[in-house]
Amino acid sequence: MERLIDSLAEGAIEKDQFTARIDRTKTRIAEIETKIGAQATDEGRRAHVRSLMNRIAELSSHLQSLLHAPGWATKREIIRALVQRIEIGPKDVVIVLRLPTEASARSMEPIMVTLSRV
């Protein structure tokens, strides 16, 4: 954009050309910012999933040390304690868990895990 402004100031391009080029440049900048925002969102989701996987691994190792050979009823109660709900859709399955994402989390905010049915 600065180059276009300098070109207009120096008389290298006409005002009509400047207007058209500046509009295209603004559009390209908006598209790039949208892509950057999408990548940041994806990275946030990846970090959330990594955090979730770490918490589940911690819980798993803790439960393994406590339960050597649980029966079916015990396994069912563990699943009931961890899973808030399961939503089955035409294209995906969403499992909403009752695990905090951080070790220091005080509230049990639900965690959603989406699995593709493809």
> What pLDDT score does 27 carry?
92
Q: Which of 63, 92, 65, 97 is nearest to 80 (CA)?
A: 97
Mean pLDDT of the chain: 80
Q: What is the pTM of this model?
A: 0.39
Q: What percent of the chain has pLDDT over 70?
A: 82
If one compares 39 and 100, the residue with the highest pLDDT of the two is 39
Q: What tokens appear for 70 in the block? A: 């649980």
Q: How far is CA 36 from CA 10, 48, 96, in A?
A: 33, 18, 28
pLDDT at 51 over 70: yes
